[in-house]
Structure 1
Amino acid sequence: EKGAIRPFYIFAGVEEYLKEEAVEKIKKKLIDPSQEAFNYYVKQGDEVFSSGISSLLGACQTVPFFSQKKLIVVKNAEAACKLKDIAEYARDPVPSTCLILTVLKTETALKKYEVMFYSPFVPEAKAWIRKRAAEEGKKMTEPAVNALLERAGTGLGLLSKEIEKLALFSGRKESIEEEDVRAVISSREAPDVWNLVDCVAERRKDEALRSAGILIREGISPGYLIAMMARQFRMIMIAKQLIEKKRSSAEIGAAIGSRSPRQTGKVMEQGRKFSQKELEDNLNRLLDTEFNIKSGRISEDLALEILVSKLCSA
């Protein structure tokens, strides 16, 4: 955050979330958003390795387009790092380009360029969770923090996603409680309810059916899953109506009970994928399914499977 940005970095270690965060900070300092399409590139290491390192080095040497700097990121770059050309480039990099290679482990010849990103220990993770929850406008009780760590571990990428879900689930409540965590987040081996909801809202049928099946085997009630899908589609419908009225994301977040800008953005994006009629039809499907289950016309498990298939195919 302080000082000049160097022209060459190796981002190493297991914490991918922190690597991505560091890349974003560097991008904000170097690249004007209006020029991002021309001066910011992300490549995969196997792509660079297979096409030859000369293409990467050539890109580094190209003059930035209407900008002082260019940023190039190569992910999973272990194979590329073993090439002597990279070590030679690192000794005399192009000043107008910032080249970042992300790896788990750094080659000895490149150690001096390494920035390590470790997963935090539990006390650090607890502090980070509270800070991340505050960004979503929430507090978290100590039992809730402990339950989240128990179920999600200390990986910051997963923790960030789970906190977004918890912020949306808790609605207008100021604080996230332990029962919220246990209701929303399954064990590390099982998908959670919000994964199913997102899969259905994004029409990922195979993944949605697989997720629903696992959740039922984990003991989650099909009726609860149907209620959560209905809640999501109601939020999507409200968001879509407000988008059409040119309302701001803050106004939309308030209307759907979300204090999380990220979750509001996700609901808005899902709303753009449906017509108003499709949303109305899906809500009617959800209501019909609830009625058929309560009237005993169909078993819960079969009703859920048919419903998920229809919602994803609509």
Structure 2
Amino acid sequence: MELPNRPPRREPEGCLVAAIRLPVRIVALVVVVPVRMAWDLLALCARALHRTVLRPLGRVLFVIPLTWLWRAVLTPLGRGVAWLVRYAVVVPAVWAWKHLVVVPAMWVWKYIVVAPLGWGSRYLLAVPALWLWRYVLAPAGTLTAWLVRYLVVVPARWLWKYIVVAPLGWGLRYLLAVPALWLWRWALVPLGRALAVLGRELAAALAVAWRVAGYVSRAVGRALKWALWQTVGRPARWFYRSVCTPLGHFVRDAVWRPVRDAVRDALSTARRTLRRALS
């Protein structure tokens, strides 16, 4: 019966972690807050520039002309070129390759190359090679293997086992393994733990500082938005509704419409007079 998975047990933090965490987080917060605010401002400006300038300009300058060029010019031209290449180049080339190259090459390969090579390899090479292997090379190989085994391998194995391995193993153990183990256990492991604690706390401090900087940046942005609305937006809206709109209606009703009607009547009268004069 398997036990249910339990969350890993978190070890208590030591004095080193507590001594490192607070200064690191303070420094990270001081450094990250201006960077986050500058980043949010640049992102806001970039989104506004892309929405109001780059996207419409790119559509007018590139998307619409390229779409028209692709649909009206390149697509019909490409279809015509493809049809021409297919029926003027590909189809004749395939027919010529199939009937003028492949068939004669297959005949030449079968009756001029393969057949003589098969006869020669069967009657001129296979029988002498088999005789040479059975009566010369196989006995020579067996004798060579026996000599190599008892004159080289066995003495080398004995020399390696009783002369090289024992002194070399003792030297590697007491001159390299023991000092390396001591250095790893008492120097590198504590240093690595300290660096790991410092790196973990620095990463956690940067993450916390980035979130706090986001809150600060949003708060500053909202405050600036409120201030601009109170100092610019609201007075501009009041001026537009209370001054510009009534003034525009007055100009439209008292000036523009009478002038337009008068000009229209004058032009109509002039046209009627001209028609009478010409008739």
TM-score bucket (shorter structure): under 0.3
Q: Which has the larger radius of gyration?
A: 2
Give me the TM-score of the superposition, normalised by structure 2: 0.15
Give me the TM-score of the superposition, normalised by structure 1: 0.13
Point out the structure with the larger helix share.
Answer: 2
Structure with the greater relative contact order (CA < 8 A, sep ≥ 6): 1 or 2? 2
Point out the structure with the larger strand share.
Answer: 1
